[in-house]
Structure 1
């Protein structure tokens, strides 16, 4: 089947969620602007008590391609990104990027993801495909990520090796098709949620190998509640998805049976 050509990505918005990232923000904005000079940067700050929001305002005042969306408080990764997606959609961008503020997602690899987006709806910067790698992670973090992605792949029946990855490119047309208005996931489960929505709607999801580097400054936002949320939600989605597939299969069998009577 011939694939419909995708429109070129002319307007790009790189979304950077922040909470207490004052020591990292200027560095990551500078690296993004150097790696992809045509891109705009949107800092999504959840009222960081360390002054990250004020620093973001200063960066925006000095660079017209840097913008800031102040949010009232810490509400989780998913809601921050959804706010950024809405902001970009309202302003006519063609695609958005998810990237962490701590440098673990290397902006220098963004051109490779954007090249893949020429023929895809969603591009995932993947640690767990051939060529992908993780650096400076302790064994338990590596085991947690591999286990979580294996669980998601088996529970949901999706062929994405790094469904929890947070370094991504989304076309805005894909996000509209994914109908994200009812996404309720808060932590890294958000990434699995959007992956599943993309697959279920028949969108093209491509994984590009990236090197993930553990942050050097600040502290990780990962905690036990994020892991529990992912485990429970993915299990529920898996049951719902398998039940829906079973109903559809039975429906096809019934229609076929009646057709041959």
Structure 2
């Protein structure tokens, strides 16, 4: 039987591909379990220095597989806590850069999953939809956290309440996407970016993520102190020493991610 999640690692990059293309990679229990395992595998593998998350076929992820959830509807909170939250938290806390490459639709929790990346790329035909209110639900899997921070409160409210689909260019305009590429160039551009990230100072990337994850919940004095503490750790790394040496010697640095 075909796995609902594909995992491939090479040259410092792990690529996780959602693999239920016949249902636009809708999230069911099996896919979520395998996705969590794949994300944890990438996080724990020292040879992996960048992660790509994408979807197979015509869509990135259509959200929860409602056809398979009829018997679970009464306890959605438990489903979120047990199956979705660990994945979102693992992506955000992973001390490595995560690129989400959105090919086609990203709807509901699929949109949440896309926004959990550190850098979000999209194909020109991609679309984004906060589908929750259409069936009487609240945005979940992190959408109410990501949307106000990326798009601003007014846009977040409108996206969540009106549940209108937006295209990739609009998502880019309002700050949900870093770059939009032609559909036939998306995979190559994603691979190029991931390969670049895998050669960069991974240790510093992890500290950058730590600082940014805390910034909205900190006041300025606390965030300044956090920066100072993280900078102490960064300046003690091998990558920092290599970066300085390469700068002084006018050569390309050879970072090791340590």
Q: Which has the higher contact order (CA 8 A, sep 6+)?
A: 1
TM-based fold match above 0.5: no
Report the structure, 1 or 2, having the larger helix content: 2
Shorter-chain TM-score tier: under 0.3
Q: TM-score, normalised by structure 1?
A: 0.26
Q: TM-score, normalised by structure 2?
A: 0.27
